[in-house]
């Protein structure tokens, strides 16, 4: 087997069970030449003194040169490991997640599958939608698909490995069916009593932002009688939740016409009053300014923008963008109103996000109360060893 020996002192993060091994930590790689060029090959990782550290998946082209499968010397990387981990991931979701049939079944590193995302839509007759984002899970694709089908009883598996992170692993972008029936049109899921159409083949990521489930529920609980503004609405996740919760009106803004069209159809799908819902195909930054100039105001505002900072060197620019929309959001909010504001940038910590929002509140001369700190749902588990898994953070603010 291929063996990686680390430089002295570079074993520390692996001893803390952090799964990533960077080239700068590696002293030497020993093995047959054909193994050294094989993406996803299992590699033994040793400390400088020869101690066992981990078995990992080797990725010759990636900046993350290897990702640990296991820190247990007695645990081989085989079909049984794959099956065991899928079983655990499923059992955990069955215990931790309710009121939905849109579930993140595998959340990468947190489930012992570095680089793998699997979302399960619409039960056994629905679809498992996979993103293979590292050489390791790519190499075990067939075994993973078999285990997913066996454990869930859902025979339909679709691949959405079209995220650009694949290119950093030297993997091509691919989409298409891996097993069973291919999605034909939209798949309908039901979350907290609301029906949503999901476009598995061409929607964002795997089609739906499952991570906001609990936060959509919070908005549902607070929406009664309120005028709601949902910025970066995509297919109307928060908008539909607000309508279900009895909102008086909901304005939803997004720059994707296709997403808005699904949002509008979602209103009909639920039998909600379409006259209460306006869908604007527009740029949020410009529209917030226009609303301010027109003297408009709302009782509940949601700001759930795309990832503004994709890398640490974009944090400063992203911080300005977050501050900008939060400042205007707070200005547009009526007294007694609620702001639900989010960042899904992994490079921006919850602490930093709160500071940015505090800066916006200060400039807006609002002494906002933080009613809650928000995060992704339980099917996106955060682990103590992998802080990178905590990417979604948010605040529920009250304007006095
Ligand atoms: N809140 C949504 C997910 C939002 S994803 C949900 O719960 O489902 C971010 C969305 O922002 C995407 O739909 C994208 O089309 C949109 N977007 C990105 N930049 C934008 C801009 N400048 N103005 C309006 N929408 C934008």
Instruction: Kindly report the CATH number assigned to the domain that includes residue 85.
Output: 3.30.750.80
Last residue of a domain, one of 159, 179, 199: 179
Verify that 57 and 168 share a domain, yes or no.
no
Are the beta carbons of 193 and 269 closer than 8 angstroms?
no
The residue range of the domain holding 56 is 2-70
- Average pLDDT value over all residues in the chain: 97
- Residue-level pLDDT at 35: 87
Beta-bridged to residue 128, according to DSSP, are 120, 157
Query: Annotated catalytic sites, by residue?
Result: 344
Verify that 221 and 289 share a domain, yes or no.
yes
Structure tokens, 341: 């504001």
Per the structure, the count of domains in the chain is 3
Close Cβ partners of 158 (under 8 Å, ≥ 6 residues apart): 127, 128, 129, 130, 175, 176, 177, 178, 182, 183, 200, 201
| Ligand 1 midpoint to CA 281 (Å) | 11
- State the distance between the two ends of the chain, measured CA to CA, in whole angstroms: 63
Q: What is the CATH number of the domain that holds 319?
A: 3.40.50.150
pLDDT, tens digit (0-9, with 9 covering 90-100), for 325-346? 999 999 999 999 999 999 999 9
Verify whether ligand 1 is closer than 6 Å to residue 191 (CB atom): no
3 state SS of 293: helix
Q: How confident is the model at residue 150 (pLDDT cuts 50, 70, 90)?
A: very high
Q: Give nearest CA residue, ligand 1 atom 13.
A: 234
The answer to whether residue 201 is domain-embedded is no
Q: Which atom of ligand 1 is nearest to the CA of 208?
A: 8
Q: Within 13 A of 296's CA, how many CA atoms are on the CB side?
A: 17
Q: Is 3 left (phi over 0), alpha (psi -120 to 50) or beta?
A: beta
- Residue-level pLDDT at 46: 98
Verify that 262 and 349 share a domain, yes or no.
yes
CA distance 297 to 299: 7
Are the beta carbons of 327 and 399 closer than 8 angstroms?
no
Verify that 293 and 351 share a domain, yes or no.
yes
Beta-bridged to residue 100, according to DSSP, are 191
pLDDT, tens digit (0-9, with 9 covering 90-100), for 229-270? 999 999 999 999 999 999 999 999 999 999 999 999 999 999
Give whole-number Cα distances, 331 to 285, 286, 294, 375, in Å: 14, 15, 12, 24
Close Cβ partners of 211 (under 8 Å, ≥ 6 residues apart): 104, 344, 376, 377, 380, 392
Structure tokens, 137: 């899970």
The answer to whether residue 55 is domain-embedded is yes
The answer to whether residue 254 is domain-embedded is yes
| Ligand 1 midpoint to CA 186 (Å) | 19
Close Cβ partners of 261 (under 8 Å, ≥ 6 residues apart): none
Q: What is the CATH number of the domain that holds 21?
A: 2.30.130.10
Verify that 251 and 161 share a domain, yes or no.
no
The answer to whether residue 61 is domain-embedded is yes
How large a percentage of the chain has pLDDT more than 70? 100
Break the chain down into helix, strand, coil percent, rounded to 5.
Answer: 35, 30, 35
Verify that 8 and 114 share a domain, yes or no.
no
Verify whether ligand 1 is closer than 6 Å to residue 209 (CB atom): yes
- Residue-level pLDDT at 389: 93
Verify whether ligand 1 is closer than 6 Å to residue 304 (CB atom): yes
Q: Which 3-state string (H, E, C) describes 117-162?
A: EEEEECHHHCEEEEEECCHHHHHCHHHHHHHHHHHHCCCCEEEEEC
Q: Rounded to the nearest 5°, which phi and psi values hold at 145?
A: -60, -45
Q: Which atom of ligand 1 is nearest to the CA of 232?
A: 11
Verify whether ligand 1 is closer than 6 Å to residue 259 (CB atom): yes
| Ligand 1 midpoint to CA 212 (Å) | 13
pLDDT, tens digit (0-9, with 9 covering 90-100), for 20-42? 999 999 999 999 988 888 999 99
Verify whether ligand 1 is closer than 6 Å to residue 238 (CB atom): yes
| Ligand 1 midpoint to CA 12 (Å) | 39
Verify that 57 and 83 share a domain, yes or no.
no
Last residue of a domain, one of 48, 70, 92: 70
The answer to whether residue 204 is domain-embedded is no
The answer to whether residue 197 is domain-embedded is no
pLDDT, tens digit (0-9, with 9 covering 90-100), for 341-385? 999 999 999 999 999 999 999 999 999 999 999 999 999 999 999
Q: Give nearest CA residue, ligand 1 atom 21.
A: 283
Verify that 56 and 88 share a domain, yes or no.
no
CA distance 134 to 166: 7
Verify that 290 and 388 share a domain, yes or no.
yes
| Ligand 1 midpoint to CA 302 (Å) | 11
Verify that 51 and 173 share a domain, yes or no.
no
The answer to whether residue 200 is domain-embedded is no
Verify that 13 and 157 share a domain, yes or no.
no
Q: Within 13 A of 267's CA, how many CA atoms are on the CB side?
A: 22
The answer to whether residue 187 is domain-embedded is no
Last residue of a domain, one of 179, 198, 227: 179
CA distance 1 to 31: 7
Verify whether ligand 1 is closer than 6 Å to residue 337 (CB atom): no
- Residue-level pLDDT at 314: 95
Verify that 229 and 304 share a domain, yes or no.
yes
Verify whether ligand 1 is closer than 6 Å to residue 199 (CB atom): no
């Amino acid at each position: 087997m291929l063996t990686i020996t680390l430089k002295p002192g570079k074993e520390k993060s692996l001893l803390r069970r952090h799964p990533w091994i960077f080239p700068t930590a590696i002293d030497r790689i020993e093995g047959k030449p054909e193994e050294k060029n094989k993406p996803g090959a299992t590699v033994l990782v040793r400390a400088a003194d020869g101690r066992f550290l981990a078995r990992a998946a080797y990725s010759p082209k990636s900046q993350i040169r290897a990702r640990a499968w296991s820190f247990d010397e007695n645990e081989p990387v085989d079909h049984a490991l794959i099956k065991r981990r899928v079983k655990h991931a499923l059992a955990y979701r069955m215990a931790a997640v309710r009121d939905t049939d849109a579930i993140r079944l595998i959340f990468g590193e947190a489930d012992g599958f570095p680089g793998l995302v699997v979302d399960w839509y619409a039960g056994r007759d629905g679809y498992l939608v996979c993103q293979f984002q590292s050489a390791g899970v790519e190499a075990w694709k067939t075994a993973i698909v078999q285990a997913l089908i066996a454990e869930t009883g859902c025979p339909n598996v679709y691949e959405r490995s079209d995220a650009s992170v694949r290119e950093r692993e030297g993997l091509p972008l691919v989409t298409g069916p891996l097993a069973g029936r291919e999605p034909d049109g939209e798949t309908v899921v039901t979350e907290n009593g609301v029906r949503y159409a999901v476009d598995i083949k061409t929607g964002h990521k795997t089609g739906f932002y499952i991570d906001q489930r609990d936060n959509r529920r919070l908005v549902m609980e607070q929406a009664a009688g309120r005028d709601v503004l949902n910025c970066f609405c995509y297919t109307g996740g928060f908008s539909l939740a607000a309508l279900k919760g009895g909102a008086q009106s909901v304005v939803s803004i997004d720059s994707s016409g296709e997403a808005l069209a699904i949002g509008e159809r979602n209103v009909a799908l639920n039998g909600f009053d379409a006259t209460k819902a306006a869908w604007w195909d527009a740029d949020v930054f410009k529209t917030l300014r226009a609303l301010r100039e027109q003297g408009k105001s709302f009782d509940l505002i949601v700001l759930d923008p795309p990832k503004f900072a994709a890398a640490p060197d974009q944090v400063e620019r992203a911080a300005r963008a977050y501050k900008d929309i939060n400042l205007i959001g707070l200005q547009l909010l009526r007294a007694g109103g609620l702001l639900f504001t989010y960042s899904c940038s992994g490079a921006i910590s919850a602490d930093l996000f709160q500071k940015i929002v505090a800066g916006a509140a200060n400039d807006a001369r609002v002494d906002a109360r933080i009613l809650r700190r928000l995060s992704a749902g339980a099917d996106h588990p955060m682990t103590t060893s992998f802080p990178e898994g905590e990417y979604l953070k948010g605040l529920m603010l009250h304007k006095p």
